[in-house]
Amino acid sequence: MTLLTTWPDSGPHTVIRRTSDPAEIAAALAPLGVRHQQWPVREEVPADADADTVLAAYRDEIDALSEEGGFVTVDVVALHPSDDPDWPQRARAAREKFLTEHTHDDDDEVRFFVAGAGIFYLHVGGEVHAVYCEKGDLLGVPKGTRHWFDMGTEPSFTAIRFFHEEDGWIGTFTGSDISSRFPDFDTIHATRAAEPDA
């Protein structure tokens, strides 16, 4: 279940909006320039599928979005729990890389979740919007938008990434500690899982 939670950027003491309705989520994010869509889920694609399998399964959607948005590079990123003894350290390093508020000056951040889940936190107009994305969700965050991303302490997701530039994007960190003041992925994931319609 996709979930949007909005708070004032002063802290999570007041919930301004909380909805799992895809149409409401898209409507709430559109004025921010943020794109939210749901694509058909290819159930035959396993969570740990290789990049070629993922790209082939979603070729029609990828081609349509690339043509519409002018994307020149598309790839697949995946993180899933492993028996590798280095997994905890790799997972922690991957999570920490995106956990602090930053912007991208040269490109949008566009992701389609093939499997698993993650949360994009968008800091716009005096509010923080936590967008819990799971398989089937496409999110497009415009360049220059303050945001951070949390994949949890046990990351498990596969996502298709779209880029306008061949070099991808580089994060510019704002120096703010705002991400530490809002519920993290694990907290929101646990709350969401406990809800009756989850």
**Per the annotation, where are the binding residues for Ni(2+)?**
102, 104, 109, 147
Residue list for the binding site for Fe(2+)? 102, 104, 109, 147
Written as six digits, the tokens of 119 are 């949360």
Written as six digits, the tokens of 39 are 């694509």
**Cβ–Cβ under 8 Å, residues 123 and 147:** yes
Question: Counting beta carbons within 10 angstroms of the beta carbon of residue 132, is it exposed (0 to 12), middle (13 to 18) or buried (19 or more)?
Answer: buried
Residue list for the binding site? 102, 104, 109, 147
3 state DSSP class of 176 = coil
Q: Which is nearest to 105 in space by CA: 173, 35, 34? A: 173
Q: Which is nearest to 148 in space by CA: 172, 116, 115? A: 172
